[in-house]
Amino acid sequence: MPPARRVVIAVFPDVDLLDVTGPAEVFALANRQTAGRAGYVVQLAGRSPGVVTTSAGVRLVTDLSFTEVDGAIDTLVVPGAVDLRPGGPVARIDRDVVAWLRTTAPLARRVASVCVGAHLLAAAGLLDGLTATTHWSTAEQLAADHPAVVVDPDPIFVRCGNVWTGAGISACMDLALALVAEDLGEAVALTVARQLVMYLKRQGGQSQFSVPLSRPPAARRDIDELRAFITDHVDGDLSTAALAARMCLSERHFARVFRQETGTTPAAYVEATRVEAARRLLESTDQPLDRVAAACGLGSVETLHRALRRQIGATPAAYRRRFRTAG
């Protein structure tokens, strides 16, 4: 049996519950799916042994105090907490956690923050010079408070060396699955994802908001149904003429209705959807660029280049180098 992988999760008063239990569940399922061969051992560490009340009111019991954490740590997980103010949520900085991180992080093989836990890593100086993400609602706060950190508010998670930062709330599951994939391979991570009934194991480069979720629901049900059709048929004929014919409308009237309901033109929406599909393939496969372009309905490598530069400001090759997570 391989040595146990020790996972230590920091907890403190009003910590977000899912930030703690989400990753813990992923590691537990990895143990179950590998009949214990994964060997993850999860420990909760707090200011002192005992009960910690989370933001949801649910109480957790720590396994040990911060001062009792010694020896090697495989993965140090840092969740977060927010204070709700009139201007919006503000990440809470727990000074005891920050001080503990400064001394404990060097003991860990890797460090991962969940949601606004990135603010705690940054306060401890662990993100200086690195690119990091956090929940979209506190990204501006992170950038303002820590100019030495390159804040990217878009991705689900970002990895810089042995430091991982994850986006908000349920993205903690995606981050934990990526950690499992690094340890045990994509097949095990996908099996765990299926057990969690997760629709898709999202990769790090994916946006916190997919194209459909970044637009509010339309008042017209037929437009929402058309948006779903576009997502499911990115490699098909999605020209304005074809979409208008599907809606039984003239091109001019269709374009006007679509823009009124979605805030964008049919062509722009289709391109954004195709780029999102291309990003998934660039992150999760080694398919050549011509096949990626064809599979996403972008036609040619040249069109793929232009679309990615327009949408995300990167070339396909650069994007793949940054976000490719599978071997």
Distance between CA 33 and CA 115 in Å, rounded? 26
DSSP annotation of 66: G
CB 102 within 8 A of CB 46: no
CB 29 within 8 A of CB 38: no
Q: What pLDDT shows up at residue 326?
A: 46
- The token pair at 225 is 């149904």
CATH code assigned to 211-327: 1.10.10.60
- The token pair at 255 is 């374009």
Q: What pLDDT shows up at residue 4?
A: 86
Establish whether domains 5-195 and 211-327 are of one fold. Answer: no
Q: What pLDDT shows up at residue 168?
A: 79
Choosing from 115, 160, 248, 296, which is the catalytic residue? 115
pLDDT tens-digit series, residues 241-265: 999 999 999 999 999 999 998 889 9
- Sketch the domain layout of the chain as residue ranges: 5-195, 211-327
Reference 80, options 20, 139, 38, 124; nearest CA is 20
Q: What pLDDT shows up at residue 82?
A: 95
Reference 88, options 154, 140, 152, 147; nearest CA is 140
- The token pair at 119 is 């603010």
- The token pair at 172 is 């903690």
Q: Is the pTM of this model over 0.85?
A: no
Q: What pLDDT shows up at residue 213?
A: 46
* CA atoms 29, 208, 56, 97: torsion sign: positive
Question: How many residues in the chain?
Answer: 327
Q: What pLDDT shows up at residue 327?
A: 44
CB 201 within 8 A of CB 35: no
> Which of left, alpha, beta for 248 (phi over 0: left; psi -120 to 50: alpha)?
left
Whether 115 sits among the annotated catalytic residues: the reply is yes
Q: Is CATH 3.40.50.880 the classification given to domain 5-195?
A: yes
pLDDT tens-digit series, residues 95-120: 999 999 999 999 999 999 999 999 99
CB 131 within 8 A of CB 160: yes
- Show the low-confidence residues of the chain (pLDDT under 70): 1-2, 199-219, 323-327
Burial class of residue 200 in the structure, from the number of CB atoms within 10 Å of its CB (0-12 exposed, 13-18 middle, 19+ buried): exposed
